[in-house]
Amino acid sequence: MSDAQLLDSTSLRLLGLTLTTDLKWNKYIESIASSTARKVGSLSRTRKFFSPESILQIYKSTIRPCMEYCCHIWSGAPSVCVGVLDRLQRRICKVVGHALASRLRSLSHRRAVASLCLFYKYFHGNCSEELHWLVPRRHEFKRPTRLASRSHPFTLHVSHLSPMELPSLFQFP
């Protein structure tokens, strides 16, 4: 192009996510945990001015969405990293009290539900063609066995790839 040299970098910020060369989510989760901690601290200092219900509503509408942004991508991060976010939610639970906090679902549950909802959409074709061919297909049993009769109708056929086949995942037909 214009003979401009590109600098090597260990991370890339793309659409709010921080991607690193080692494909770990520590840096991204630390950054959202830091941002969330500031917001939770500010919110807990305002408890004199707001009712617990209002604090919970502010948390659910402004802070929690930041903690869950693109969680279907990074939800496989180690629990040590993701545990920081759970501790931040527990801080809010202490502020609003046990009665209101008992209505909150855990963040890990919400991440699992969000990932399953997205997979459901992909499985039923609500995605681009490039993504749709990566989604595992329904497993079709060849014979009527006990396993086949007890299996869920949406059992998936998961193919096991060797390390040599992995690069082919990133080449589109």
Q: What percent of the chain has pLDDT over 90?
A: 57
Closest CA to 107 of 97, 115, 119, 96: 115
Is residue 67 over pLDDT 60?
yes
102-129 pLDDT, tens digit each: 999 999 999 999 999 999 999 888 989 8
**With the C-alpha atoms ordered 29, 67, 106, 94, is the resulting torsion angle positive or negative?**
positive
Structure tokens at 29: 């989760």
Q: Is the confidence at residue 131, as pLDDT, over 80?
A: yes
Helix (H) or strand (E) holding 32: helix 26-45
What are 11's strand-pairing partners?
20
Domain-by-domain residue ranges, the chain? 11-128
Query: If pLDDT is split at 50, 70 and 90, which confidence band does 1 have?
Result: low
Query: Does the pLDDT value for residue 56 go beyond 80?
Result: yes
Helix, strand, coil abundance in the chain, percent, nearest 5: 55, 5, 40
Model's pTM, two decimal places? Answer: 0.78
Of the chain, the percentage scoring pLDDT greater than 70 comes to 92
- CA 39 to CA 81: how far, in whole Å? 19
Q: How far apart are CA 25 and CA 91, in angstroms?
A: 23
At 60 the pLDDT is 96
Per-residue pLDDT at 168:
62
In the predicted model, is pLDDT for residue 160 greater than 80?
no
pLDDT at 61 over 90: yes
Give the pLDDT band (50/70/90) at residue 170.
low
- What letter represents residue 52's amino acid? P
CA atoms of 75 and 65, how far apart (whole Å): 14
Per the CB < 8 A criterion, the answer to whether 111 and 75 are in contact is yes
pLDDT confidence of residue 152: 80
DSSP 62: I
